[in-house]
Amino acid sequence: MDYAGFLRAVEAGAAPPVALLHGPEPLLLDDAVAALSRMLLPDPSALALSREVFEARDAGAETIVQAALMLSWSGARRLVVVRGAGSLSAKQGEPIGAYLKSPNPSTVLLLLADDTLEASHWLLKAVPAAAIVSALPPAGRQLASWLRARAQADGFDVEEDAAALLVELSGEDLTQLLGEVEKAALAGGPENRRVGVTEVRAVVGEHRLHGIFELTRALARRDAAAALALLESLLNGGEDPLGVLAMLAREARAAWQAAEALRRGRAPEDVARALRRPPAAAAALVERAQALAPAAGARLLRRCWEVERRLKLGGVPRSELSLLIADLCAV
């Protein structure tokens, strides 16, 4: 089951006696706990008595199983949440494995693994396949849609263009994106709950916004001199090198996706519309995608990942990013 399907099932009132969620994004795991808690225990006063949360290594499998076997005092189903379940070895988790063969129907045992589990992990064999949920963070065009829906759950109305702009400027960290939505809403006044492009610009700052947009345009034109000058301006202004790299990687990914769509026979105007960018920017990106050799887009993406690895290992940001921009403009 995918993550969105799991949440839909929970919202519809369906929760299996056991579920395993694994993925690298803590916010998605926390949202799943919150959704199950609301569905099973709508009365907040019942949380203290009918929900238990454990850290797997600290509690141990025996304690977790004992909590899962406990009967509900109120008639409502209990919720037992186990964080870090993936850290238990098969030997350490034997009591849980035995419990999973005949789980208590009055308890929902929610196992959380804060990373994507390897296919050989014992939990993926012990938990029924239908109860295993891959909690992968949204990416690409899905990210703006996710941001709008998630912000709406918090009471914010984010316009489509504003969501796309926030993703473009703030990166793909889900928690940071939600924080930017809140800040953007405040830019419209203390009671404002609607976020448009105007509010986003007020948050990110006109100078930064202009610099990033100009760098994007320079890459689309393959104007290396202008792109390198803009890179210097952004870095001198205190821009996070990894944030700049994320933007460069998004541009490389967009060019690759556009090139693949064109290769599959989609019309250029359809590809431009799907990019959800201003007409001139979308047209420039499609033109660049048309000029890409079949393997060039994937190669540029790999080059971005290589630069990320170098930066995280202590590479010099200015040099690494300058070479990357030269490569992006040369292809």
- Is 221-330 a domain of CATH 3.90.850.10? no
Q: Which of 77-81, 129-133, 257-261 shows the lowest per-residue confidence on average (mean pLDDT)?
A: 257-261
Confidence of residue 79 (pLDDT cuts 50, 70, 90): very high
Q: Which fold has domain 141-204?
A: Helicase, Ruva Protein; domain 3 (1.10.8)
Residue 111 has pLDDT above 90, yes or no: yes
Determine the average pLDDT of the residues in 101-121. 94
pTM: 0.64
Convert the pLDDT of each residue in 275-315 to its tens digit. Answer: 766 666 677 778 878 888 878 888 888 899 999 999 989 88
Percent pLDDT > 70 in the chain is 95
Q: Could you name the CATH architecture of 3-134?
A: 3-Layer(aba) Sandwich (3.40)
Q: Of the ranges 43-47, 180-184, 216-220, which is most confident?
A: 180-184
Determine the average pLDDT of the residues in 233-246. 82
Tokens of 280: 């001139």
Convert the pLDDT of each residue in 170-210 to its tens digit. Answer: 777 888 889 889 988 988 888 899 999 888 888 776 656 67
Q: What one-character DSSP code corresponds to residue 2?
A: B
Tokens of 246: 């994320």
Residue 225 has pLDDT above 80, yes or no: yes
SS3 readout for 260-323: HHHHCCCCHHHHHHHCCCCHHHHHHHHHHHHHCCCCHHHHHHHHHHHHHHHHHCCCCHHHHHHH
Residue ranges per domain, the chain?
A: 3-134, 141-204, 221-330
Percent pLDDT > 90 in the chain is 48
Are 176 and 137 contacting, i.e. CB atoms less than 8 angstroms apart?
no
The stretches of 51-140 forming alpha helices (DSSP H) are: 56-59, 61-69, 94-100, 122-126
Residue 264 has pLDDT above 70, yes or no: yes
Are 197 and 160 contacting, i.e. CB atoms less than 8 angstroms apart?
no
